[in-house]
C-alpha cells in the first residue's frame, strides 16, 4: 500500500504543452489515471483566474484547485473564495499610471472581462486574453475588490513605476504586465490544512518562475525538463520536458504508481 501523496500541478508548461492554448499530452492523462487509481490526491495550482482553469480541471477530472496565484481555493468542485489584491496599493499604481499616461485595466470578478477606462489598452495591445469593457470614469477607489491589474508597459520600463514595488507582478506578454498574486504555496498550505494533511506529503510540479513561490522545502518539488534555470535550481527532481512524458516519468521516479 503506497503512502498517499497530495499532488499539485501547474498548468502552462507542466500539464499543458504547446503554449497558452495548447494540449494535455496523452502520457500526462495516463499518469493522472494511474495516480487516481492509487488513491493520491490531485489538484491544480495555477496563477490563472479560477474560471480560466476550470476547463482543464474538468478535462482531467480534478475536483480541487489552487487558483489566482494562491488566492483562490476550489474544494470538491466548489469555489470557496478568492482573496483580492490590496486595493490601496493597486490604486496607488493606477494613479501613477494615469499621471504618466499609461493605459491600464483591472479584473474585479471571476470572469473573462477586464474593466478599462477607455479604448487605449486594446489599441496598444490588440490583446484577446480577456474581453475589455470600457467604463468611462473608472475609479479603482470605488471598486469593491480588485483581483488583477494589467498595465501597458514594454520591458524594462516597469522598473520606473515606483508604486509597483509594493505589488506582486509578472510578465507573460511583451506589451503589458500582470499585477497578480504570486504565492501558490499559501494556497497549497490552505488546501493541505483543509484536509488535515501533512505538508511533507505534498508534491508540487512546475516549470516557470511564477512557480518559485511553491518550491519551498516543506514538500517535494518537481521541475519539468522545460523549466527555467531558477526553478530547476530549487527542485528535488528534474524530470523530462512536458512533451517528453515529463509528468509520467516523474511519477515513476517518485514511485507513485507502477509502470
CA distance 87 to 100: 20
Q: What pLDDT score does 235 carry?
A: 98
Looking at residue 128, its pLDDT comes to 87
> What per-residue confidence (pLDDT) applies to 19?
79
User: How many whole angstroms separate alpha carbon 229 and alpha carbon 18?
Assistant: 20
pTM flag (> 0.85)? yes
Query: Grid cell 528534474 — which residue?
Result: 238
Domains, the chain: 6-83+183-253 (3.40.50.1000), 87-179 (3.30.1240.10)
Determine how many CB atoms are found less than 10 A away from the CB of residue 174. Answer: 9
Residues of the chain with pLDDT under 70: none
* Predicted pLDDT at 21: 80
Distance, in Å, from the CA atom of 205 to the CA atom of 219, rounded to the nearest integer, reads 11
Amino acid at each position: 500500500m503506497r503512502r498517499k501523496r497530495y499532488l499539485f500541478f501547474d498548468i502552462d508548461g507542466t500539464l499543458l504543452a504547446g503554449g497558452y492554448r495548447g494540449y494535455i499530452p496523452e502520457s500526462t492523462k495516463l499518469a493522472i489515471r494511474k495516480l487516481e487509481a492509487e488513491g493520491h490526491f490531485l489538484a491544480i495550482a495555477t496563477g490563472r483566474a479560477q474560471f480560466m482553469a476550470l476547463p482543464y480541471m474538468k478535462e482531467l477530472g480534478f475536483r480541487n484547485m489552487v487558483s489566482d496565484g494562491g488566492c483562490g481555493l476550489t474544494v470538491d468542485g466548489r469555489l470557496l473564495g478568492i482573496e483580492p489584491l490590496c486595493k490601496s496599493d493597486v490604486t496607488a499604481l493606477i494613479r501613477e499610471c494615469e499621471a504618466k499616461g499609461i493605459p491600464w485595466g483591472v479584473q474585479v470578478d471571476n470572469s473573462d472581462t477586464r474593466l478599462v477606462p477607455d479604448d487605449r489598452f486594446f489599441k496598444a495591445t490588440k490583446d484577446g486574453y480577456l474581453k475589455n469593457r470600457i467604463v468611462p470614469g473608472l475609479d479603482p477607489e470605488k471598486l469593491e475588490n480588485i483581483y488583477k491589474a494589467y498595465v501597458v508597459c514594454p520591458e524594462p520600463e516597469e522598473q520606473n513605476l515606483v508604486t509597483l514595488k509594493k505589488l506582486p507582478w509578472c510578465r507573460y506578454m511583451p506589451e503589458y504586465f500582470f499585477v497578480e498574486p504570486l504565492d501558490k504555496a499559501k494556497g497549497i498550505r490552505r488546501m493541505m490544512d483543509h484536509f488535515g494533511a501533512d505538508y511533507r506529503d505534498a508534491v508540487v510540479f512546475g516549470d516557470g518562475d511564477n512557480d518559485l513561490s511553491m518550491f519551498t522545502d516543506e514538500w517535494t518539488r518537481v521541475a519539468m525538463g522545460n523549466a527555467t534555470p531558477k526553478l530547476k535550481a530549487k527542485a528535488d527532481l528534474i524530470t523530462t520536458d512536458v512533451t517528453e512524458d515529463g509528468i509520467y516519468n516523474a511519477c515513476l521516479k517518485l514511485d507513485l504508481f507502477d509502470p
